[in-house]
Amino acid sequence: MKQSTAERIEFLRREIDRHDRLYYVEARPVIGDRDYDLLYGELAELEKLHPEFHDPASPTQRVSGEPVAAFAQVVHDPPMQSLDKTHTKAELADFAAMVGRELPGEHPSFCVEPKVDGVSISLRYEKRRLVCAATRGNGSVGDDVTGNVRTVKSVPLVLDGSAPETLEVRGEIYMTREGFVRLNEREEDAGREPFANPRNAAAGSLKQLDPKEAAARPLDIVVYNSGGAGCDGFSSHGEMIAKFREWGFPVPPWSRRCGSPEEIFAAVDELEGLRHSFRFEIDGAVVKVDERRFHQLLGATAHGPRWARAYKYAPERAETVVEGITVQVGRTGVLTPVAELHPVELAGSVISRATLHNADQIARQDIRIGDSVWIVKAGDVIPAVESVIVEKRRGNERKFEMPAFCPVCGGPARRGEGEAAVRCVNPACPAQLQRRVEHFASRNALDIRSLGGTVIEELVSRRLISDPLDLFSVRTVDLYALEVSGHRFGKNALTVSRSLEKAKALPLHRWLFALGIANVGVSVAKDIADAHERMSDLADSPVLKEVLANDERKGRERRILAIKVEAAKATLAFFAGEYGRRFMARMAQLGIDPVSEKRPAAAAQGPLAGAGCVITGTLSRPRGEYAKMIELAGGVMQSAVSSRTRYLIAGANVGAAKTEKARKLGTEVIDEARLLELLG
């Protein structure tokens, strides 16, 4: 029997909700991004044509709210309390002893979980639909941020039918490590103040007045506690968490059940060793009495529950000296001050430099050349100056001032109105050109082999190139004669020439990423390329214009084939601008018009459909060749092992730490022969 429109819409909603759960909660996707986007696009189109079937709980409605002037207040019942903190194992032992004294004759067990460094949130469901999301606030009253939380894809809008009709759960909204790095790069490129750490970034995202702005932030959630309704029938915390997962909530990816202080100590030590392997930052462990019947007996203080403690890890930081402050020039002209540090080891790597972001940051922290400072890794990734050790100042430290002129080209450097960044305004600045060419030639772009930073610097200084496309006009003989680091470039010139020739035939998404357009990363470039036939179609793209039109109409359709509004706007602006027009004219002269390499529909049913894959070590074939085979088989290539990785393909010369991390996360480690078996 033919399916009605209403039935098709309901099917698509259920199917998208199912795939969201498989991806965000269970970390085992069964379809690729593009197939997901086809389902999403069909649903959005049907809802647009049939507004009578509008449902605020539809997956397309995650970004449907209008901007608000202020946040309404939500009363928490029961209050959202904080946890009392411990910093030593002796204090943990005291906590366990206190629990034993309060429960004479009982033998309570404990549950140890990661302490996620994010923003506490409460989610309330009525008739199994999300009706309210609120921050902790002062514990008794918080802000209603439902519109923003609805944009977080890992937050279920409608619960599984086995869940209670009325339910309140509590957890933590966080920003992923990778997302934090990308967000700060965008903020600095736009001349805005970068975020200090992922927690601040997450908090700022939840306080956006426009849900569309919140939707552009890489937020996620983990649910780890009950709220005021729907959670009375569980005998243990572990049982409750398992049921939360069954109902569709992301829950802590790691936990240990312990019966003694010694087992608790072992668990918190094990967790500390894994602290850099999670998608979120953790600043400690949470130790809870597992049996929920004891929670009421133990009660709570005015500050927090007596049945739980937070065990804070010592911050990973190192002391060093700021030996100098230099200024780097990025490809958008932003001048970034960088602290040149006396080398020091921190979190497994030697740190000798740390970005200081901008003049405001330096003034705020009062960082001076010669200062002793504490160094940390923001988001466990980016080296950063945490604070100055003022008591170690000797009086000969020197204040730093941002230059009025570009340190590379000598052109004027100006600070735009409302911007934190100072920019070189000379479009011919060699440093900007060098960074643009480095990006243009990078592995994920045109992959021009043997064309490293020092070679590009030499080409720019000799004025052999003044634009990335000039690479295609440089004579091989001129490349051959280059002197790089005291050595003749020689036969490497042939490698560059061959790579440039191959680049002419690379697919559209590689060229689009190579342009360095704001908000167009590797995956976004693929999304845009999939919606077009060739690069010449982008200058007046009806698809990109439709994305903007949908946004302006405040329509229910947020995306077309996953293309975000910001990316569509930036892409159209690039090709409409003077440089974009000159670029396309030059491409026409070179006879280059890249064509889209659309992913075959068969990939959705391939042997690796939806499987996250990471390649490491030395293989018998180039990694790029295997990556293409994996994607054609429906797999999803990833740069690092995470909880969403199904296979780590390990070649020769792989360190034990990497494979051990994969095993702890439940990732299957396979060799090249097994991969070929899977590929068939």
Q: Which residues are catalytic?
A: 115
Which residue type sits at 645? T
Based on its alpha-carbon atoms, the radius of gyration of the chain, rounded to whole angstroms, reads 27
Per the DSSP assignment, residues forming a β-bridge with 382 are 378
Instruction: Tell me the two tokens of residue 124.
Output: 């309330």
And the tokens for 20?
């969201």
Do residues 83 and 286 lie in contact, with contact meaning Cβ atoms separated by under 8 Å? yes
Residue 150: CA count within 13 A, CB half-sphere: 25
CA distance 451 to 509: 21
What is the Cα–Cα distance from 311 to 92, expressed in whole angstroms? 7
SS3 letters for 440-500? HCCCCCCCCCCCCHHHHHHHHHCCCCCCHHHHHHCCHHHHHCCEECCEECCCHHHHHHHHH
> Quick check: 587 and 469 in contact, CB under 8 A?
yes
Give me the phi and psi of 180, to 5 degrees please: -60, -45
Query: Residue 1: how many CA atoms within 13 Å on its side-chain side?
Result: 5
For the residues of 221-280, what is the DSSP string, one character each? Answer: EEEEEE-SSS-TT-SBHHHHHHHHHHHT----S--EEESSHHHHHHHHHHHHHTTTSSSS
What's 77's DSSP letter?
A: S
* Residue of 333, 349, 332 whose CA lies nearest to 341: 349
Cα(72)–Cα(386) distance, integer angstroms: 35
Cis amide leading into 315 (omega within 30)? no
Secondary structure of the chain: what % helix, strand, coil (to 5)?
Answer: 40, 20, 40
Coil, helix or strand for 114?
strand
